[in-house]
Amino acid sequence: MDNTLITKETILLNLDATSKTDAIHKMCGHLFMVKKTQNPSMLFSDITKREAEVSTFAGSKTAIPHTISEHIDEPVLCFARVRSEDFTWDGNDEDVRFIFLLSAPAKDDLRQLRQSQSYVFSSVAQLISRSETLELWDKAESEQVILDSLNEEFKANLNTKTN
């Protein structure tokens, strides 16, 4: 497993955002601050381009914007919990509280890259299906709590991976 994928630095517990664009924009800016991207505006445009095709709203107040981009230095997962009231991600009835932003740099073997990154959202899917996890994330007061819950699930998924 990639230990630098998500760190305390890329967990935002109190993101002030009023719209999807605002949220993604701020998260890209944060990734610049923690030196994961040299060019946050291009990263933003790559993510919104993907978002324009189909919304990444995933249910359970969660959205998973993601992209393979030239403007990210290494695979990174950024978690954000929206502080203000939930806002609508896209269209109707898509209130969002948790945002998982995943980006990975393009590699020669795109197929291999996609497969190697699949465990991330696979884990997220399992996590958000449990109401106790959602409650935990909602109440968490330190980044470590979130990090632990994610890492635990990542480990379980990587170990049971069959192919």
Partner 1 sequence: MSGNNMKVGVQTLGRFLSGMVMPNIGAFIAWGLITALFIPTGWTPNENLSVLVGPMIINLLPLLIGYTGGKMVGGDRGAVAGAVTTMGVILAADIPMFLGAMIAGPFGGYCIKKFDEAVHGKIKPGFEMLVNNFSLGIIAAITAVIALKAIGPVVSGLTTALGSGVGAIVEAKLLPLVSILVEPAKILFLNNAINHGVFTPLGAEQSAAVGGSIFYLIETNPGPGLGVLLAYMFVGKGTASKSASAASIIHFFGGIHEIYFPYILMKPVLVVAVIAGGMTGVTVNMITGNMLVAPPSPGSVFALAIMSTKGIGLVLTLASIAAAAAVSFLVAAIFIRRSAGADEAELEAAQASIAANKAQAKGAAAAAPAQLSAGSVKKIVVACDAGMGSSAMGATVLRNKVQDAGLDIEVINQAINDLTDADIVITQAELSARAKAKLPSAQHLSIGNFMDAGFYDDLVSKLV
Q: Please identify which residue in 3, 14, 159, 163 interacts with partner 1, judged by CB under 8 A.
A: 163
Stretch that binds partner 1, among 21-29, 76-84, 115-123, 133-141 (CB under 8 A): 115-123
Helix (H) or strand (E) holding 46: helix 40-53
Strand extents, DSSP E, the chain: 11-15, 57-59, 62-63, 66-69, 76-82, 87-88, 95-96, 98-105
Phi and psi torsions of 87, nearest 5°: -115, 170
- When the beta carbons of 126 and 144 are compared against partner 1, the nearer one is 126
The H-or-E segment that residue 54 falls in is none
Q: Does 149 bind partner 1 (CB under 8 A)?
A: no
Among 35, 111, 131, 139, binds partner 1 (CB under 8 A): 111
Q: Among the candidate windows 10-18, 34-42, 123-131, 133-141, which touches partner 1 by CB under 8 A?
A: 123-131
Instruction: Give me the numbers of helices (H) and strands (E) for the chain, helices first please.
Output: 5, 8
120 binds partner 1 (CB under 8 A): yes
Strands 11-15 and 76-82: parallel
Query: CB of residue 82 vs partner 1: minimum separation in angstroms?
Result: 19
Rounded Cα distance, 21 and 97, in Å: 14
88 binds partner 1 (CB under 8 A): no
Interface contacts to partner 1, rule CB under 8 A: 50, 53-54, 56-60, 64, 66-68, 102, 104, 110-111, 113-115, 117-126, 128-129, 163
